[in-house]
Structure 1
Amino acid sequence: MDCLQENFFETPVHLFSGFAPRSRKVVETPIQCSTTAFYKFFKKQANFLPNVCGSVVQTIGLVDSNKSWVNTVGSRKVIEILSAESCRDTAEKFKYIVEAIDDRSRKITYKLLEGSLLQLYDNFTVTLQVTSASTAKWTIEYQKKKPTSEDPDFYLKLFPTINATVDIYLRSNDD
């Protein structure tokens, strides 16, 4: 693979003094495919993730009467990804809702509804933004239930692999 540069950032976000602070972590990687194609892949073709990136995404499915793979605000899906607790031989299942979509900014925000991460965090959201600078930027925002809970670094480190494999897939299937 060509030079894959990852940029990781961490920013604490304090919302209210009486609550545990929300934290934010960001990973950003360059992409070589069309930024429009990359964004459309996650907006309309996420069902291909297990085929494109099977080492990370085991399965993805429609739930709660959803009949379309197109991400719209309120659509719900379930995804099974590589498990942090396993020795890379099992997967964790998470149910999420698409909380926000901004086509102009090429940004999609997903909020976790069910899954083991909610045992550690009160809130857990993931945002993908495909920038005009040909980067795919993933932001995880979370609020720990306990100050001793671990940061979700394992999950953050999966995004560069996802970005790279989707980028390669889109470049190899570009007509």
Structure 2
Amino acid sequence: MDYLQLNVFEAAVQVFALKVFSRTASPTRKVVETPIQCSTGAFYKLFKKQAYFLPSVCGAVVQTIGLADGNRSWVNTVGSRKVIEILSADSCGDTAEKFKYVVEAVDDRSRKITYKLLEGSLLQLYDSFTVTLQVTSGSTVKWTVEYVKKNPSNEDPNFYLNLFPTINATVDIYLRSND
């Protein structure tokens, strides 16, 4: 009887270890890159310090954005938190999804900001979900999305990846017309 109990315990530990190991798998990385014609500095500045303009600039995608958890400044610094409502993947019309995120990293020299999702429907599908914006000196905007699926059968977040070119284009047009 002791032998049977020991084997059952070992089997349970092995299954648990497999589950833990699969959740620590390396994230999937997808990149969306588009050219822009406006000033790269102005584009980066809008996302770094003036994100409150996004609903008026590209309201078809970004419906609202607000400060969260006691933040008083729109400047993206490490640890700052915001809530954003964007076009929903499940929408047939104009419904929006709300997400809360934290700024995980800011590199002004390379014009890069990394956002980590804290709350929202995507966290039902993914263990982690981060988005990095980088405005390159070559007049391109690169969005890198990294995520770890909770279940291998979950879909990739292609709907959200397809929103980035629209955001880039509308911000580019806005900044060129307001220079």
Q: TM-score, normalised by structure 1?
A: 0.88
C-alpha distance in 1 between matches for 2:132 and 2:75: 16
Kindly indicate which of the two structures has a greater share of residues assigned to strand: 1
Superimposed CA distance per residue, residues 57-88 of structure 1 (whole angstroms, 9 cap, x where no aligned partner): 00000010101111110000000000001113
Of 73, 94, 103, the residue aligned with 1:98 is: 103
How far, CA to CA, are the matches of 1:49 and 1:92 in structure 2? 15
Deviations 1:132-160 (A, max 9, x none): 11000000000000000110000000000
Query: Which residue does the alignment assign to 1:108?
Result: 113
Which is helix-richer, 1 or 2? 2
Aligned to 2:132: 127
Indicate the percent of aligned positions where both proteins have the same amino acid: 82
Distance in 2 (CA, whole Å) between partners of 1:134 and 1:82 is 26
Give the drift of 1:172: 0.6
Structure 1 gaps of 5+ residues are: 1-15
Per mean C-alpha deviation after superposition, the further-off stretch among 86-95 and 144-153 is 86-95
Corresponding position: 1:77 with 2:82: yes
Aligned pair 1:155/2:160, yes or no?
yes
Say which of 24, 28, 36 aligns to 1:23. Answer: 28
Find the structure with the greater CA-based Rg: 2
Measured on the aligned residues, the alpha-carbon RMSD in Å equals 1.2
Which secondary structure does the structure 1 equivalent of 2:113 belong to? strand
Contact 1:20 1:144 in 2 (8 A): no
The one-character-per-residue Cα deviations of 1:5-41 (angstroms, maximum 9, x if unpaired) are xxxxxxxxxxx96433410000000000010110011
Distance in 1 of aligned mates of 2:89 and 2:82: 20
Say which SS state the counterpart of residue 123 (structure 2) adopts: helix
Give the distance between the partners of 1:122 and 1:86, measured in 2 at CA.
23
User: What's the CA shift for 1:89?
Assistant: 1.9
- The corresponding residue for 1:144 is 149
**Structure 2 Cα separation of the partners of residues 165 and 110 of structure 1:** 21
TM-score (norm 2): 0.87
In 2, Cα distance between equivalents of 1:173 and 1:154: 29
Match of 2:13 in 1: none
